[in-house]
Amino acid sequence: MAALFSTVELPFAEMNALAFVNYTIVIEADSGDYSLSRMGSWAQPFYDALTCAYNKAVLHSLFISGSPILTAGGDFRYTEEGATFSGSAPVHVYQNNVTVLPPDLSARRVPLCFVTGMEKGAHQLTLNLDTGDSYTFARLGYDTDSFADAVEKQIRGLRDESLAAVKEIEPSLPDAKASLISGMVLRGAAAPFSRLSGISESFVSALEGKIAATRAAEYYKAFSGLCDKSRFWIGFRKNEAPTQIEGEAETAAPDPYLLWLIVPSPDGSHCAVEFAEADAATFVYRVTGDFANFAGKLNRALEAIEFKREIIRLSDEELRKPDNAYSYMVLKRSAALQFVRRNFVGRVIHSSPAGWQQKLSELWM
């Protein structure tokens, strides 16, 4: 925004709400409110272009790319941890989520992997998550049935994908047991070791065999000496092979699976998150409340950021830097990510097994 004697640059990351009222465009931002008026016939086109560009930035921050499977518009109402949000906005269905895009901080990516129930009404659809949160979409007009069908199809697809990964790890696993396990580990979510072993000891053994083939093998052994394995949570996800473009240099193939652990400290006051990846540090958190509930929030936070943990450790000052603008935007729109950041204690670098264990013990105290 340029005037004769001053220029103001307002990044999307700092914008918290956009509104168009009485031919005036109002932008609520971290630095204050801005009003753009007396724009004449340019007001509506300007607002439309602004919201379109803003929504693209929001989608990028929520790790959403590609074209939606279905786009609709209507009313939304959702409840998260006792807080209620409602309004009207565009609604998109993607391969693994439903995204609602009001031009403010109530924009949400609803992960289909955590949906445990679906309620269809005459003119609405409600998605219930394992957290107890619910998301209702209504007044979608002629798109109501298509919207419900698209959501169902994507949930089935996620479950089929997870089932295939489970069967690949343990081919001899009976279908009934494989189905139970696949529903617990959708999109790489971690599940309690005790529940997995209760369904199939052979599957857990096969999963441990995968971990034993990674650089995390010795740390898994160390964790097993520090804490009862039955209290571990283990997650995995099949990694996609990188797309090779003709003429480009070949890229190294990723590990076949993303494997990770949530390990509580002996007294249950802290936990460690360990990824079986090269150069991955151990992240340590303070556990508040019930451990299972805390582990569930870790699941949701990590899934929301595509398991890119660096966002969690960035300081508030670092998040305000232009290079981290998208991280700042997703933080504003994810209660689970805010929660785990508040409880982040520190990282332990894998310098040596002895040095690692000493530093871990210090952070767990």
pLDDT of residue 244: 42
> 287-330: per-residue pLDDT in tens?
998 999 999 999 999 999 999 988 999 999 999 999 999 999 99
Are 77 and 84 in contact by the 8 Å Cβ rule? The answer is: yes
Residue 331 CA to residue 339 CA, distance in Å, equals 10
- Both 146 and 275 in one domain: the answer is no
Rounded mean pLDDT of 172-177? Answer: 95
In whole angstroms, give the CA distance from residue 297 to residue 264: 14
Domain membership of residue 99 (yes or no) is: yes
For the chain, helix, strand, coil in percent to 5 are 40, 30, 30
One domain for residues 76 and 197 = no
Read off the pLDDT band of 239 (50, 70, 90): confident
Residue 146's CATH number: 2.30.29.30
Same domain for 301 and 345, yes or no, is yes
Looking at the chain, which runs of residues are DSSP E strands? 15-21, 24-29, 32-36, 70-80, 83-93, 97-100, 108-111, 115-120, 124-129, 134-138, 190-192, 233-238, 257-264, 270-275, 282-286, 344-348
Among residues of the chain, what percentage have pLDDT more than 90?
81
End-to-end, the C-alpha distance of the chain in Å comes to 51
| Nearest residue to 258 via CA among 244, 272, 243, 278 | 278
Please compute the mean of the pLDDT values over residues 68-77 and round it to a whole number.
Answer: 96
In a domain, 48, yes or no: yes
Query: Given this model, what pLDDT does residue 241 score?
Result: 56
Rounded Cα–Cα distance for residues 101 and 325 (Å): 18
- pLDDT above 70: residue 75: yes
Angstrom distances, CA of residue 298 to CA of 30, 200, 338: 27, 24, 11
Please state the φ and ψ torsions of residue 161, each to the nearest 5 degrees.
-65, -45
pLDDT score of 346? 95
d(CA 169, CA 196) in angstroms, rounded, equals 13
Q: Residue 51 sits in which domain range?
A: 12-58
Report the predicted TM-score, pTM, of the whole model to 2 decimal places. 0.90
Pair (79, 50) in one structural domain: no
On whether both 83 and 50 belong to a single domain, the answer is: no
Q: What is the pLDDT of residues 122-173, one digit of tens each?
A: 889 999 999 899 999 999 999 999 999 999 999 999 999 999 999 999 999 9
Residues 6+ apart with CB under 8 A from 292: 192
Residue 149 and residue 232 share a domain: no
Other beta carbons within 10 angstroms of residue 197's beta carbon come to: 18
